[in-house]
Structure 1
């Protein structure tokens, strides 16, 4: 299956998947191939996989290997993505039925604390790159996803001295929303727009790519953010961490769930409510306070 896996991973790479994602998918697919070979006594071929195999593999991961629910679900997700590609490429006749995902105990999403935010912003300011500052601020202050930030056109940005609004025309699920821009983010955007107008006068994008007719790719934008995170000694920054930090800070400042959901573009309040859950560090402090 090595050749088929390589073809699939090449396809993912063309869709701008990160190196981390590619590495993770390869390991997850190889794990299933090993299990299939040991269990079924034959080499894995996509057309032979049945819903029973998938159910047994999920059960084996849970009950024999005792893997965590998020690990089990991640491996099944990788497998489903690969098999869907196999069906599209004519390597399998159909997509077998997948078992229901394993319930996960969800905690609050990982967010940066105040010291980490300050270190990150300090590194951005020291670099003095107006584009990078605007990009970071859109994610940290406005809660935009990386893909939403790089897809903004100039016409989507309405920035004044006392107010500002960003229009996200195609968020997750194709949702449209308008996002208010707070003062520090407005300042960063004004400074970038002043520079950008001279460098890319013909580009319609807020963040032009190498060629003016295309915008900066999500992968390239995230590499920019990771550079500053590394300098700020935040090595494990996830693509959604700045968005999570924005939501957490709004709630701590007194915003309600409806307001935060509107800013983030959540269709369901229970999606936003996860930010109200205490982190493990907060639970640990509470336990210490209550210890006799």
Structure 2
């Protein structure tokens, strides 16, 4: 049984998430080596997870191990015994629901990280059911905010404008955008295509180029030839040192453009970088595109792509407001 008196403090204890700049959740000495081994495996070069996912998984597993040490009620050793692993994961789910008061989506995200931790230890995922969550439609920009963002992008440096257009018109994830090489942009075909060689779970896909995206990429490729690193790096998007632009830097550029457009930022705001991908999926679905095509273009499963056809909060609100009143 893992036990220790250390407990998460502050927001980490009450909400299960660490704010940027906050101190990491404390771990007892007995678990520091376990966590360090997981971090090493997680961050191994060439792995399937992007840098952002690596950071999030590490944070969530650290919180799980800290809770595990503080709880001390799980019978057996959850780090080596599959039965104890399952009990610990189920108890942690209950903790997140009742003590930390996390939303179902957040609880499930934490359990996914815990499963990754156990897979890397050779135990396999825990037998813990996910929290029930109401079906939701991914957040997407409305028409007004789309125009505001694109106009702000038109005033940004050409590289950053091309990043926005790629995410908006090709529906690429931020890690997919920064992983693109110049050879992945094919302009010789009548309309052109973009090749995503290593999408989520290693999926390969080809996306036809929207005319506006084709024009911007042509302009950027022309400007790129004069940039530092253009002759040595295959990366489509270069940083100031001539190397491949990181996902974090691309994220910063996107947020800066959204800020210029006056879009609220963050999880509770209108804009996050992933919202551009959701906007592409939602727009295609609302325009009648077959869900199988949407799934292929975005690198989704068909079931995941079906989320774009679900009613939004605004749809449900309007339905309620249409009910008859006696006035």
In the TM superposition, what are the counterparts of 1:262-281 in structure 2 within 5 Å? Answer: 262-266=296-300, 268-281=301-314
Structure with a larger share of its residues in helix: 1
Distance 1:222 1:253 in 2: 28
User: How is 1:1-292 mapped onto 2 (pairs within 5 angstroms)?
Assistant: 1=27, 4=32, 7=36, 17-18=51-52, 22=56, 26=59, 29-30=62-63, 33-34=66-67, 36-40=69-73, 50-62=85-97, 67-83=102-118, 87=121, 94=123, 97-127=126-156, 129-159=157-187, 163-199=191-227, 200-210=230-240, 212=242, 214-234=243-263, 235-236=265-266, 237-266=271-300, 268-292=301-325
Maintained 8 Å contact 1:144/1:243: yes
Whether contact under 8 Å (1:257, 1:269) holds in the other structure is yes
Kept in 2: contact 1:150–1:217 (CA 8 A) = yes
Residues 64 and 10 of structure 1: CA distance in aligned 2, closer, same or farther (over 3 Å): closer
> Normalising by structure 1, what TM-score?
0.80
Q: Matched residue of 1:50: which SS? A: helix
The two structures have a TM-score, normalised by structure 2, of 0.72
Q: Which moved more, 1:156-165 or 1:175-184?
A: 156-165
Matches of 1:210 and 1:152 in 2, distance apart? 17
1:217 Cα offset (Å): 1.8
- CA RMSD, Structure 1 to Structure 2 (Å): 3.4
Structure 2's unaligned 5+ residue stretches are: 1-26
**2:195 partner SS:** strand
Q: Secondary structure at the match of 1:198?
A: coil
Contact 1:147 1:218 in 2 (8 A): yes
Contact kept, 8 Å, 2:140 with 2:276, in 1: the verdict is yes
User: Could you tell me how far 1:76 is from its partner in structure 2?
Assistant: 2.1
Q: Counterparts of 1:255 and 1:232 in 2: how far apart (Å)?
A: 29
Distance in 2 between the 1:232 and 1:188 partners?
19
Aligned with 1:170: secondary structure? coil
